[in-house]
């Protein structure tokens, strides 16, 4: 995915995540659109690209939150790193692998956010509530990941078939 196409995509995902994604709440969780983009980019373009977009998307989410700048970026980086490690040790990826990495990245993302909130003295949910929300979000993101991958593949095809500027 070209940078020119990636920047509006990650910005739109961050904006949609903080504005309308909470309206699609299921079991207390709502889709993490930036995480879905990072997972998809990491699978299609590699760990390096995934980590770059994780930083950008994380900073955008941090700027829209009331907390410090950094926790979302750190949490998304951890997920992109996990996927990069997974892809290095896998010969053929299946939709199940991709969905599982979305779920695993969601769990890691949530754990990093709760940990950093605690370290920064910000309020954190009780352990049982945090676990319930994390598992609901992991399932939600795993279900949405195949659709996100298809969207990313189509966007990638569009950007690769577009004429190059001279």
pLDDT at 47: 92
Q: Is the pLDDT assigned to residue 3 strictly greater than 90?
A: no
Distance CA 32, CA 13 (A): 9
Q: Is the pLDDT assigned to residue 5 strictly greater than 80?
A: no
Please give the domain boundaries of the chain with CATH numbers for all domains. Answer: 3-154 (1.10.1760.20)
Buried residues in 32-49 as b, exposed as e (16+ CB within 10 A): bbbbbbbbbbbbbbebeb
pLDDT band for position 164 (cuts 50, 70, 90): low
Reported as a single tens digit per residue, the pLDDT across 105-157 is: 999 999 999 999 999 999 899 999 999 999 999 999 999 999 999 998 888 88
- 3-state SS, residue 78: helix
- 164 with 60: CB under 8 angstroms? no
Other C-beta atoms lying within 10 Å of the C-beta of residue 97: 15
Distance CA 103, CA 6 (A): 23
**pTM as predicted:** 0.90
Annotate 91-137 with three-state secondary structure. CCCCHHHHHHHHHHHHHHHHHHHHHHHHHCCCCCCCHHHHHHHHHHH
pLDDT at 88: 83
Reported as a single tens digit per residue, the pLDDT across 49-101 is: 999 999 999 999 999 988 889 999 999 999 999 999 888 878 887 899 999 99
Query: Helices marked H in 2-126 — which ranges?
Result: 3-19, 33-45, 47-64, 71-88, 95-119
pLDDT at 87: 85
pLDDT at 19: 95
pLDDT at 166: 47
Distance CA 87, CA 138 (A): 19
Q: How far is CA 160 from the centre of its chain?
A: 23
């Amino acid at each position: 995915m070209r940078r020119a196409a990636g920047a509006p995509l990650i910005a739109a995902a961050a904006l949609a995540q903080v504005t309308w994604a909470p309206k699609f709440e299921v079991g207390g969780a709502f889709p993490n659109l930036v995480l879905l983009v990072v997972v998809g980019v990491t699978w299609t373009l590699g760990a390096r690209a995934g980590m770059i977009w994780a930083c950008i998307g994380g900073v955008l989410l941090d700027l829209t939150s009331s907390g410090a700048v950094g926790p979302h970026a750190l949490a998304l980086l951890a997920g992109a790193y996990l996927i990069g490690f997974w892809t290095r040790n896998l010969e053929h990826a299946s939709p199940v692998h991709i969905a599982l990495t979305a779920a695993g990245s969601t769990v890691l993302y949530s754990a990093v956010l709760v940990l950093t909130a605690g370290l920064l003295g910000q309020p954190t949910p009780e352990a049982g509530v945090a676990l319930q929300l994390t598992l609901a979000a992991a399932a939600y993101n795993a279900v949405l990941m195949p659709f996100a991958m298809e969207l990313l593949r189509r966007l990638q095809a569009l950007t690769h078939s577009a004429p190059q500027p001279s």
